[in-house]
Structure 1
Amino acid sequence: MIRFLVVCLIVIGFLILSIPILLIEWLIGLAFPRVKDMTSLRLVQGVFRLCIRAAGIDATVIGHEKVPADQPVLYIGNHRSFFDILLTYIQCPGRTGYVAKKEMLKIPLLSNWMKYLHCLFLDRDNIKEGLKTILAGVDEIKNGVSVCIFPEGTRNKGKDELALLPFHEGSFKIATKSGCPIIPIALNNTSAIFEDQFPRIKARKVVIEYGDPIYPNQLSKEDKKFLGEYCRKLIAEMLEKNKEQYGV
């Protein structure tokens, strides 16, 4: 329980102590919105790194050099843990907003920071509102902000991490409508950090692999039509390979 308490103290302490920083960042954003975006990004990344260190996570990162440094992308990955967000966000080289469930808007301070970081809030029960969120994601890409979405739609709570839930095809419209590349991310063993023995946090070894950029317009007509399933298979292959290679 000690690791759990330390991580909670870091997160809660940051949210409380950062109240004046939120105001400062807002003022900076009035004149220099790009500066505000980057300072908010680096600050939150620093807090996430501290949480990961406190949790004792040993992360092996593969293929991060494949992420284009000169254009926004759509990150997509499997999702089994709350720590998936922390582990992937610290790897983002530039401005990146995550797609989160709309219920996160009810959490004070945290939702403020999420808005600063260009996060989008998805109503999973309203198709019309969901489409608006996807279109907002397209606008973010066009404005130079990458977007990350977990296309399974929720955390996969199954025991076998290789048994991925179906990928929602609508998630990929952010890429097909904006023309940006898709970066698949495979996360091995992340549920073992926290969810498998809730509420305890245990030091674990995890593997994060970034696949080759996928350009939808370069795919066959069949693969482009079922882009979600195409990406799901790629991530499943990376998960299986890394589970055998690293013994996680």
Structure 2
Amino acid sequence: MERLYIRMVRESFEPGRLDTAIRWCQRSVGARWIHFANRHLLHVVGYERVPPLDPAKSYVLASNHRSFFDLYVTGAFLMRQGLHHRMVFPVRSNFFYDSALGFLVNGSMSFFAMYPPLFRERSRQSLNLASLQEVVRLLQRGGTLTGVHPEGTRNQGPDPYTLLPAQSGVGRIIHQSRATVLPLFINGLGNNLVRQFSGNFLRTGSPVVLVFGEPLALDDLLAQPGGTRVYKQVSERLVTTITALGQEERAARARLGRESSAEWIHDP
């Protein structure tokens, strides 16, 4: 079943009507319902730092990881700003690739953005290298936006501003693909969809603050031969950058509590 589902999604990236239809659905359906579910809570800072996104190039969208929905909200915001790239977010294989219901949810809710699968079982860890190479392949062909978390897993600690140690997998993707990296910090999203939606519609939920940074400068590390040490250094620089953006988010959140209207916030 996993092999079938992986092959089906992989083939959907081939140029043609299916790929065009999925891109349209991600941009016109997915981005709209995500915006509708967060529009009263979302505040965006630093979007002017993001360069014009070339449809022929690929980008790595890298953020901290507090909620399952961090990258979906961010990707939806970018699509509302004109992004036309195909979005992919590596995801655990459990449920989304080992059950028919999971595959249906992947297709109907994210239009197969949850790809490629990553395996948590120790006996299958070697398969994750193939998944990382698949991400690199998609980035190198252009027209792809890949969302990643350099922490490697969801940070469930009490302090959202203290990130987990950097993992080398994201550094490998960036170093091998040479895609432009867009760092960001996001805070305020929960993991309970019902509570998140009701907080938005009733306007009682916590503000969701998204802070974009400048594209990550990596020329010195990209000039070095690839290897575990260099990949880890790339990820560590990314974590350092995202942590600094977190301090901007902290200040922006404090200002939101004091100002009824704020010109410094981008209207999503």
TM surpasses 0.5: yes
When residues 136 and 162 of structure 1 are mapped into structure 2, their CA distance, relative to the original with a 3 A threshold, is same
The 5 Å alignment of 1:32-181 reads 32-42=17-27, 43-53=29-39, 56-63=40-47, 65-70=49-54, 71-92=57-78, 93=83, 94-103=85-94, 104-105=96-97, 106=99, 107-113=102-108, 114=110, 116-117=112-113, 119-125=115-121, 126-144=124-142, 145-181=144-180
1:185, CA displacement in angstroms?
1.2
When residues 90 and 173 of structure 1 are mapped into structure 2, their CA distance, relative to the original with a 3 A threshold, is same
State how far apart, in whole Å, the 2-side matches of 1:84 and 1:186 are.
9
Alpha-carbon displacement from aligned partner over 1:52-78 (angstroms, at most 9, x marks no partner): 24xx42322422651441121111110
> How high is the TM-score relative to the length of structure 2?
0.70
Residue pair 1:77, 1:151 contacting (<8 A) in 2 also: yes
Letter in 1 for 2:60: L
State how far apart, in whole Å, the 1-side matches of 2:232 and 2:181 are.
15
When residues 245 and 31 of structure 1 are mapped into structure 2, their CA distance, relative to the original with a 3 A threshold, is closer
RMSD: 2.9
Residue pair 1:52, 1:86 contacting (<8 A) in 2 also: no
State how far apart, in whole Å, the 2-side matches of 1:64 and 1:96 are.
21
Letter in 2 for 1:123: F
Residue pair 1:99, 1:148 contacting (<8 A) in 2 also: yes
When residues 111 and 225 of structure 1 are mapped into structure 2, their CA distance, relative to the original with a 3 A threshold, is closer
- Which of the numbers 217, 227, 237 marks the counterpart of 1:230? 237
Q: Percent identity?
A: 21
State how far apart, in whole Å, the 1-side matches of 2:153 and 2:48 are.
24
The secondary structure found in structure 1 opposite 2:77 is coil
Letter in 2 for 1:59: H
State how far apart, in whole Å, the 2-side matches of 1:149 and 1:121 are.
13
> How high is the TM-score relative to the length of structure 1?
0.75
1:120, CA displacement in angstroms?
1.6
When residues 30 and 165 of structure 1 are mapped into structure 2, their CA distance, relative to the original with a 3 A threshold, is closer
Residue pair 2:170, 2:231 contacting (<8 A) in 1 also: no
Residue pair 1:100, 1:122 contacting (<8 A) in 2 also: yes
| Structure 1: stretches of 5+ with no match in the other structure | 1-25
State how far apart, in whole Å, the 1-side matches of 2:153 and 2:164 are.
9
Task: Give the count of matched residue pairs.
Answer: 216
Alignment match, 2:250: 243
When residues 34 and 138 of structure 1 are mapped into structure 2, their CA distance, relative to the original with a 3 A threshold, is same
1:236, CA displacement in angstroms?
0.7
The 5 Å alignment of 1:199-214 reads 200-201=195-196, 202=199, 203-214=205-216
When residues 223 and 116 of structure 1 are mapped into structure 2, their CA distance, relative to the original with a 3 A threshold, is closer
State how far apart, in whole Å, the 2-side matches of 1:69 and 1:87 are.
18
Alpha-carbon displacement from aligned partner over 1:127-152 (angstroms, at most 9, x marks no partner): 31111110000111022212111122
| Structure 2: stretches of 5+ with no match in the other structure | 1-10, 200-204, 257-268
State how far apart, in whole Å, the 1-side matches of 2:182 and 2:88 are.
14
State how far apart, in whole Å, the 1-side matches of 2:88 and 2:170 are.
14
State how far apart, in whole Å, the 1-side matches of 2:195 and 2:16 are.
44
Residue pair 1:61, 1:207 contacting (<8 A) in 2 also: yes
The secondary structure found in structure 2 opposite 1:200 is helix
Residue pair 2:168, 2:231 contacting (<8 A) in 1 also: no
The 5 Å alignment of 1:212-223 reads 212-219=214-221
